[in-house]
Each structure stands twice: as C-alpha cells, then as structure tokens.
Structure 1
Amino acid sequence: MKKKLVALAALSAIAGAAQAQSSVTLYGIVDVAYRYTTNHGPAVDNGQSLSKVIGGGMSQSRWGVNINEDLGGGLRALANLEQRFTPDNGALNGSGTGQQFQQSWVGLQSSSLGRLTMGRQYNVLFDVTTSTFASFKYSPYIEAYKPEVAMALGVRNDNMVKYTLSLGGFTGELQASAGEGSDTTFVKSMGGMAKYTFGPFAVGGGYLQREGANATTTDLKAESWIIGGAWTSGPIYLSGGYAESSFDQGVPVALFLVGTGADNVFSYTNSPLAGVNVESREMYFVNLNFQVTPALNLGAAYWNLEDTFYSPLSGSPQGDFMAFIAQYAFSKRTDAYVGLDYTKVKGPISFTSTSGAVNNADDRTGFMVGLRHRF
C-alpha cells in the first residue's frame, strides 16, 4: 500500500511539474469612448459635426491567447492568437470583415539564440516605433487618431517569418514574407530594425519593403524607413523622429493608410488617379509626456506629413496633426482618458464626409472621452 501511495505521489509531482512548464494566458483590452468631430458633412455643408460611440479610443479592443511552453535547455515554444472587436456594437475585427485574427503566429525562443516566429504579426517598422520612440509613454499611439501608422506599410504583415535577437540594451529584428504566387496583393516583404537603449536614452531605426501588384501590373514596390529616439528623465518623456516612404507608380497608397485613425480619411482633389500616383511620403514628429502624479499622465504629440506626386500631377498634399491626451489610472488595469486633436491639411487634399465624398474642408477638430480596462 505504501509503495502505491509513493508511486501515486511521484506521478502527481511529475504531472504538476509538467503542467508548470507550460502556460496558456488569456489577455485583452476593452476600450469604449465617446467621440465628437467637426467638419464631417458634405461639400454643400461641410461644417456639420459628427458624434459617435467608438469601440477603441486609446486602444483597439481585443482579446487574445498567449501560449508558452518550456521545452528544456533554454528553449521555449510560443504561440499567439489575437482577435479584435468593437465593443460598442459587438462586431469582430473592427468591421467584421478581413482577417479573423489580427495576430496568428507560432515560434521558438532560445535563451541564447533569439526568437523565430512565423505567421501574421507586427512588422519591424511598427515594432521599432512602439518600443523605442512611441508617441505616448503609456499607450504607444491613439487608436482613434494615429497619423504615424501611415508610415508603417500596413502595421501587420501576412505570411511572415521574423527573427529577433536581444543582447543587453540591443535588439534587432529581421522579417521576410513569401510572395506565394500572388499577383493581386502586397504579400511579399523583407526588412529589419535595430534599437539600442542606454541609460535614459533609446534610439532605433528600421526599413521595410513590400511587393505586390495592382489590377494590371506586377512587381510593384513600396518601401519605408524610419529613425527616431527618446529620452526619459523622471516624469518627463520626450521622443521624436523622421520617416520616409517611396512608391512605384501604380501602388494604391490607400492600402497603407488603413488604420491611421477613425477620422484621418482624405481624398486627393486634383485627380481621381492621384491615389495610385504618389511617388513619396515623408513625416517628422515630436512627442512630450509628463507624469504629473502616479495616476495622472499628460501627453502632447505633433506630426507633419507630406506627399509628392509623379508628374504630371501637381501639388504636394500636406497635413499637420496635433493631439493632447490626459489619462487617469484608477488601478493598474482600469483608466479613463480625455483627448483633443486637430488636423489641418493644405494643397490638393481634402477630408471626406460621412458618406465618403470629398467635403472640401481643410481642418477638423476631434474630442473624445473614454474608459479602458485591461485584463
């Protein structure tokens, strides 16, 4: 009887140890805000305002699963699935269309050799921006107003293999996506990023190229690079940088503007073909955050963006973007926020109305107040 009890205890210990070596973690964010914006009407009355409840003010609402298994010898197996949704109406993935998972990848991580992941995941430009010189210290960007995403060539890329290596204050990444024989979408990619943190300073940069096609032409390229830095001293966080993109003639640049914010929707006014005749795009930005108290954080950000057309289109569409945020943390998981943003455009570009038509307005002001919970 004693031998049976000892054997049972040993098996229980082994099972417990095996269970402790792997974990499945459910995580998520639920963020709902009221948002008000000006100049949202049609061309005949562009001064009309728009009020709405949005399912993602500071952060895109999401839930996900992280999987982590200890394989021994400093090797771990990793996987992630992440589904986005809008809690104001219960829709999946924002609009209920497109990919059902915004992230879906599996990988291996070695304590000495780095990490290799495969699947749909954040690209190197997004990684270096949000981890090194993000617009806001405690929320990398504003979900409802994020002009910096216009330089990230899609934020997440499909079919990606990504390698990450961290050594001390240095982190480097390489990514590549196979073309998979597609001649209608921009699925092929290659790029890299590097960042270095030393004391209160962090600097980094990245480059990404994506290849694809429009309806009639193959082998079109879009490429972007970014460089920036940040300085943190006590309650002060200051960051900034510069980014530049170039596009082959015929690249539908609207593809790379998806997700720049609920109200950053523009139309070129000098030609219906302008959206596939953007030659280059550049942006510079500066951000300042101040931690007033352990619970209250204030932030301000400014971005300037300019497009250049291929000839014979004329003009250089430009935009000035400004945002101010106050966040108050009730706890580590729950916070409330108030935001004010202002956009001014000039040149052959205009906002669109709620119906998607050009409304001839050249400025727009937004206000939002929201509540966010992380779990």
Structure 2
Amino acid sequence: MKKSLLALPILAVCATHANAQSSVTLYGLLDEGLMINTNAKNVVNGKNVGGRQFQLDSNSGLQGSRWGLKGSEDLGGGLKAIFTLESGINVSNGAFGQGNTAFGRQAFVGISSASYGTVTLGRQYDSVNDYIGSYGFALSYGGSSTEHPGDIDNVNHSSRANNTIKYASPNFRGLQFGGTVSLGGIAGEISQSSGYTLGANYNHGGMGLGVAYEYFKNPSAAGAILNGNVNATTFNSLNSGYLGARPANSLQIIAAAGSYQIGPALIGAVYSNTKYQNIGAFGGATATFNDFELNASYRFTPALLLAGEYNYTKGNAVRGDIGDQKYNQFSLLLDYLLSKRTDVYMEGTFQTASGTSSTGAAAVADIGSLGDSSNNHQLVARVGMRHRF
C-alpha cells in the first residue's frame, strides 16, 4: 500500500513531463461586418447590370474568419514534429471558405529545428506570402477588400499551393529565407501544374526588406496554384481572357517590398511584376501586370490605429488594345481595440478602371474577391468586428 502511495506522485511527475513535450492548440478568429457595395456583380440575362448591395459579410474583412488546430511534439535533439490544420469559415452562413474546401487555408505536417530550419509538407502559402505579404496593406491591415485588383500577384495569399514541400530557415540576425516546391501529381507529366517559389526577408531596427520569386506551369489547371480549391475558381475579366480556353502555360511573379518605422508611424511600399506567359488564345503572347503600392499607418494610442493605401496596377496590351487595363485604388482603415482579442473598425476602398480588359471589353472595377462591377468605378465600405480565440 505504501509503495502504491509513493508511486502516485512519481507517476504524476512523469505524466506532467510527458505532456510538456507535446501540445495541441485550438485557435481562430471571427471577422464579421456590415458591408455596402455601390456596384456589386449582378448578372441579368447574361449581362452584368450591377447594383447597390447591403449585406453581412465574413469574407472581405480585415482577416478571413477561420478556426484551426496546431501542435508540436518534442522529438529530442532539438527537433520537433509540427502540424497545422486550418479551415476558413463564413460566419454569415456557416459554410466553409476557400471554395468549400474543408481545410482550405492550410494543411501541413513537418519537422522543425531551431538550428536548421523547418520543412513542411501539404497545402501551404507560397514565398510571396511569406516574404512580401506582411509589407502589403491587405495582409497587414485591410484584408481582401483592399488587396491589389484580383490579388493579381498573390500578395494577399488568395491562392494556396497544393502538394507542396516548404523550407523556412531560422532567423540569422534578422535574415530569413526559404522556398517551396509544388508537385503537379499528373501521371506521365512530371512538370505539369508544378512550380516553385523563393524568398528572403531582412529586418533590422525599424527597417524591413523582402524579395520573392514564383513560377508555376499550367497555373489555371484544376488543382494548380490559381485553381487549387475543391470547387473550380471563377476568374474575373481582369485575367479571365488569359486563363480560359487555351490559357497561359505558365505564371511568373517577381516582388519586392520594404517598410520603415518612425515612432508610431510605419511607411511601406510593394512592387510586383506578374506575367501570364505563352497564352494560347493570343498566339503565345505574354500578359504583364505591374503593380505599385504605397501604404502608411499611425498608431495614435495603443488601441487606436489609422492606416491608408494607394495602389496602381497597369496591364500591357497583348493584341491591339486588349489587356491595356489600368486600376487606381485608395483604401482607408480606422481600427480600435476593445481588448487584446477584440476590435471594431471602419474601412473603405474606392477603385477606378480604364482601358480594355483581357476579354476585349472595357475594363471594369474589380475590388478584392467581390467580382467584376458593371462599370469602371466602385466603392466598398464596411463596419466590422473581429474577435480572436
């Protein structure tokens, strides 16, 4: 009996030690708001006639609503097994996000070492997200309604890469780097729908700099980088002419960004060059988009933030004037923290378009993931609440 009693505290210590070696965390956030769209997509008898729209919306806030599980297990020798399963959700109706994909945001498992870096396998973000996204207004502040038109350069990680192997380095005195390789998985076609990305980031004091490169073959094929959800992706007139029948056979993105902190103010800039290459519908031509973003934020108090952005996107013509589209976009955000986990905010984005879209029709405004408007201007405003758990 005495031996049994003595064994109880020993077993308790061992159980505590074992539990300390592994952990699983449930986490998430809910971002819901009232959104006003002055020119929402509204197709009647095959024609987009537009229309003013008022709705509760869970997709166009500061961050996409989500829940997830992440965990780690200590393997000894400085190694950890890690995993993440993360699902987008629509608070307005309870549906899955990312085209009704169960774990559409992230799903990966891997090995992590403080000395050598991390290798993960699964559905993951690319290097543009990892090394450029934090400098952009959409990912840092305003969410998808403030992203570059159609998120053409994936700076707001609208597209995730399936079947992906990722390496991320440790932090070497402010320098981090990494890359991804995505396998197409097509029988008999090793390179079809495959791709790779590379990137690096350096932070020192109040300065940050990032660069990234991305290349994918057959980017609009089912399961590929631009069409990787369970349900097929619908492209807008911005690029649908390059990704429909006889689409581009490759996608290339080059991006660079930087920021500088001056007391409570932060100034940032992002440049990207996106190319849809060898477009069959246009005799092998290449469509190029150059995007320039300037953003700034000012924290008046620990709880009150004001942030703004100007973005200019220019496409080149691939035949005649087809594709010579231009977009000017302005965004503004006022955010107030009620606590460390809950905030309320107001934001708005105004965009104008000019030129001729990839379809040969007049370019129309295309804010975030909201789809084509019916003419060349659009305003989206939102009052929302975000809660993290």
Task: Tell me the TM-score range normalised by the shorter chain.
Answer: 0.7 to 0.9
Task: Give me the whole-angstrom Cα distance separating, in 1, the residues matched to 2:351 and 2:166.
Answer: 35
- One of 323, 331, 337 as aligned partner of 1:329: 337
**Closer, same or farther in 2 for the Cα pair 1:358/1:136, shift >3 Å?**
closer
What letter is aligned with 1:2? K
Task: Give me the whole-angstrom Cα distance separating, in 2, the residues matched to 1:193 and 1:203.
Answer: 11
What letter is aligned with 1:158? N
Q: Normalised by the size of structure 1, how large is the TM-score?
A: 0.84
| Deviation string, structure 1 residues 130-159 (Cα, Å, up to 9, x no partner) | 33x13169x444133311732028531111
For 1:25, the equivalent position in structure 2 comes to: 25
- One of 246, 251, 255 as aligned partner of 2:275: 246
For residue 181 of structure 2, give the secondary structure of its aligned residue in structure 1. Answer: strand
For 1:61, the equivalent position in structure 2 comes to: 65
Number of aligned residue pairs: 348
- One of 213, 236, 242 as aligned partner of 2:265: 236
For residue 167 of structure 1, give the secondary structure of its aligned residue in structure 2. Answer: coil
Deviation at 1:212, TM superposition (A): 1.8
Deviation at 1:367, TM superposition (A): 1.1
Task: Give me the whole-angstrom Cα distance separating, in 1, the residues matched to 2:17 and 2:351.
Answer: 56
For 1:197, the equivalent position in structure 2 comes to: 203
For 2:160, the equivalent position in structure 1 comes to: 156
Map 1:1-375 to 2 at 5 A: 1-40=1-40, 48-56=51-59, 57-93=61-97, 95-96=99-100, 98=101, 100-131=103-134, 133-135=135-137, 139-147=140-148, 149-152=151-154, 155-165=159-169, 166-181=171-186, 187-212=193-218, 220-250=249-279, 279-312=287-320, 314=322, 316-348=324-356, 349-351=363-365, 360-375=374-389
What letter is aligned with 2:208? A
For residue 145 of structure 2, give the secondary structure of its aligned residue in structure 1. Answer: coil
Deviation at 1:74, TM superposition (A): 1.2
**Closer, same or farther in 2 for the Cα pair 1:179/1:357, shift >3 Å?**
closer
For residue 249 of structure 1, give the secondary structure of its aligned residue in structure 2. Answer: strand
Q: Which moved more, 1:33-42 or 1:282-291?
A: 33-42
Say if 1:136 and 1:289, in contact at 8 Å, map to a contact too: no
**Closer, same or farther in 2 for the Cα pair 1:24/1:187, shift >3 Å?**
farther
Task: Give me the whole-angstrom Cα distance separating, in 2, the residues matched to 1:219 and 1:314.
Answer: 15
Identity of aligned residues (%): 27
| Deviation string, structure 1 residues 284-332 (Cα, Å, up to 9, x no partner) | 1000000011111000011111112323554510101110000000001
**Closer, same or farther in 2 for the Cα pair 1:370/1:313, shift >3 Å?**
same
**Closer, same or farther in 2 for the Cα pair 1:121/1:102, shift >3 Å?**
same
For residue 126 of structure 1, give the secondary structure of its aligned residue in structure 2. Answer: helix
Say if 2:96 and 2:102, in contact at 8 Å, map to a contact too: no
Q: Which moved more, 1:290-299 or 1:142-151?
A: 142-151
Task: Give me the whole-angstrom Cα distance separating, in 2, the residues matched to 1:5 and 1:73.
Answer: 34
**Closer, same or farther in 2 for the Cα pair 1:227/1:357, shift >3 Å?**
closer
For 1:261, the equivalent position in structure 2 comes to: none
Say if 2:98 and 2:104, in contact at 8 Å, map to a contact too: no
Task: Give me the whole-angstrom Cα distance separating, in 2, the residues matched to 1:181 and 1:235.
Answer: 51
Say if 1:76 and 1:110, in contact at 8 Å, map to a contact too: yes
Deviation at 1:20, TM superposition (A): 1.2
Structure that is richer in strand per residue: 1
Measured on the aligned residues, the alpha-carbon RMSD in Å equals 3.0
Q: Which runs of 5+ in 2 are unaligned?
A: 222-243, 357-362
Q: Normalised by the size of structure 2, how large is the TM-score?
A: 0.81
**Closer, same or farther in 2 for the Cα pair 1:369/1:186, shift >3 Å?**
farther
Say if 1:42 and 1:358, in contact at 8 Å, map to a contact too: no
For residue 180 of structure 1, give the secondary structure of its aligned residue in structure 2. Answer: coil
Say if 1:287 and 1:302, in contact at 8 Å, map to a contact too: yes
What letter is aligned with 1:145? T
What letter is aligned with 2:203? T
Say if 1:289 and 1:297, in contact at 8 Å, map to a contact too: yes
Task: Give me the whole-angstrom Cα distance separating, in 1, the residues matched to 2:48 and 2:117.
Answer: 57
**Closer, same or farther in 2 for the Cα pair 1:186/1:372, shift >3 Å?**
farther
| Deviation string, structure 1 residues 56-101 (Cα, Å, up to 9, x no partner) | 31111000001111112211111000011110111112553x4543
Deviation at 1:358, TM superposition (A): 7.0
Say if 1:136 and 1:287, in contact at 8 Å, map to a contact too: no
